[in-house]
Amino acid sequence: MMGDRDYRSVIKNAIQSVGRELEYRFKKDDISKIHASEVTGCLRRAFYDRTDEIEKDQTSFSDLVGGMFRQLEFGAKAADFSLNDISLEAQADLIVDDLVMIFRSIGEFPENPFSKDILYINACMYAYDKLDGVIIYINGLGEEISFSVTRNKRMFEETVRRVRVLSDLLKEQKTPILEASVECTGCQYYERCYTKKKAGKTINFFGAGNDFLSSLKT
């Protein structure tokens, strides 16, 4: 805090507003359309996002890299893949020379792309009817590592299955089961799925009263 202004909260609010602008946009009240980002992550989180949302914290500008590409004039536009009664919507960040591209910010480069990102880009390849894609991870220093992927039918079938599960659960207003993963740690619904994060009670042994010390002897 400097002077009367809490700069940290001003910056946090600014990041939050930019984050809102750059998120995937889809109508959350229209359950005939499911976004690929919903079914390639935790279904329970997607369900809460639609039914009883808590806004997620945008922790830094690096989380917003993919959204910035989509905002550019030549950024990729959303596309739908029809499943007859439902449609699956997906949006890549860029499409260059028939190559579907998504960008993700990362602290440490992974050995292999994350399954969530592979499933997402695979859904994009079906939505745009393209065969090849590339996932690009960018770290805080602006360095990048990329992984090329090709369209995979079996993976897409799994995505379609999850679209149907989420759609049915939304219709029935039934909460999906927990999908424990690394995603849980930063999830805004953590306390709905697990116990409240609570610090243990501190016991001051040195200042403990006689009653407490004698109870240890018995």
Of positions 35, 45, 151, 162, contacts ligand SF4 by CB under 6 A: 45
Is 90 near ligand SF4 (CB under 6 A)? no
What is the spatial order of strands in the sheet that 87-90 belongs to?
33-35, 87-90, 79-82
172 vs 211 by CB, closer to ligand SF4 = 172
- Of positions 14, 178, 208, 213, contacts ligand SF4 by CB under 6 A: 178
> Least distance (Å) from ligand SF4 to the CB of residue 93?
23
Using the rule CB under 6 A, is 44 a contact of ligand SF4? yes
Nearest to 159 by CA among 194, 127, 201: 127
Which residue from 21, 80, 168, 183 is in contact with ligand SF4, where contact means CB under 6 A? 183
Cβ 166 to ligand SF4 shortest distance, Å: 12
- Do residues 110 and 138 lie in contact, with contact meaning Cβ atoms separated by under 8 Å? no
Taking CB under 6 A as the criterion, the residue among 22, 39, 42, 136 binding ligand SF4 is: 42
Among 7, 109, 190, 212, binds ligand SF4 (CB under 6 A): 190
Q: At what angle do helices 153-172 and 115-128 cross, to 10 degrees?
A: 90
Would you list the DSSP string of 128-181? Answer: HT-SEEEEEEE-TTS-EEEEEEE--HHHHHHHHHHHHHHHHHHHHT-PPPP--S
Quick check: 165 binds ligand SF4 (CB under 6 A)? no
